[in-house]
Structure 1
Amino acid sequence: MLGNLPNTTDIMKQSVWNNIYSMDIIRKNKLEFVSERKYISEDIIWNFEFLKSTSNAQLINERGYFYRQNNLSLSRHYNPKRFELIKIFYSTLIEKVRFLDNFDEAKLRIQKQFLINLRTCFSQEKNLPYDRIITDVKYMVRDQTVINVVNQYPVKELGFRQRIFVELIRFKKYRILANIIKYI
């Protein structure tokens, strides 16, 4: 649910729309959604809190729900606050998993999801004026959270395209990144 490991695709859907929940557990633990304006992926935060509140969860391999893609949703449009939101989301998840026995694995999964979210931030810049893209990308690659994740992450375990993307960030090649944004 937190994301996949560097060289795998072992991810569970992070949304709440593909799950069935016990209202007793929700009421008993006073579980509520946080605003999507506070966290970029409020579903993961909610799922995490729900799963902490139960001792029984099951995965089934049935399709009983079909999701309709909404091109007008907040996740599809440029959001100038997205970068700050993904950093808040990242640090929140890291804090939530610190107590887990498999913290190192959870951290790797969260870091990979951060890199995916960062790529989304870059790709959403593509319709902005070029000088604005340069300024924004430069700001992002110089950010301390980005630097920490890129330096800690086992980049060599990523696929070729992902590895190139992360290495361009690591070496702060913001002009190259700005030029390839439309292909990200």
Structure 2
Amino acid sequence: MQAFDQIQELWQKHDVEVKLSADEMLQQAKKEVNGLKFKSALNILGMLASFIAIAALWMFYHFNSWTTHVGISITMIAIGVYTLILYRDHRLISKTDYTLHPNEYLNNLKSYQLNRYSLYNSLYWFYTIALSLGLIFYFVEILGHFNIYQKMVAIGSTALWILFCSTILRKAVIKREKERISLLIEKFERISSQISSTDQF
């Protein structure tokens, strides 16, 4: 009985490696790629919606101060540049058919990973500073219509929101996206190695 318990314990500790075919791995990767593309497209649409909303505000609302026009211009330029960068990255993961060219898609995915790292680090701070500067110029006129408590709430909530997005939210997004892309790269590396090994036989 003791020997049986030892065998059972050894069996439970033993990890059984499940070998998946390249086709099965491609099917799994397909779901993740589609999710990545969908999220990327949603980010672009969100940025475009922000750009259009700010442009509509600028066109249909009459502002008296030149600082407001400067603030809105800076904000729209920052959003426009960031949207173009997001679109460039989206094309990287959308232009190649990963089922036909997994190696090429793997290279694009690695470039996408590097671009995202740059986007969430140096480029993110450019975007945050530009938005903050745009808001400061915009608030010069707008805050003139508020009483002291409304001014404090507007400035405080805006500063807290920027701080929250720049720290907690940014770190969470970076961590989640890094894990997701790294896992996808690992899958495509395994698919590529399986395809190359079957081509040798």
TM over 0.5: no
The structure with more helix, counted as a fraction of residues? 2
> Which structure's relative contact order is higher, taking Cα pairs within 8 Å and 6+ residues apart?
2
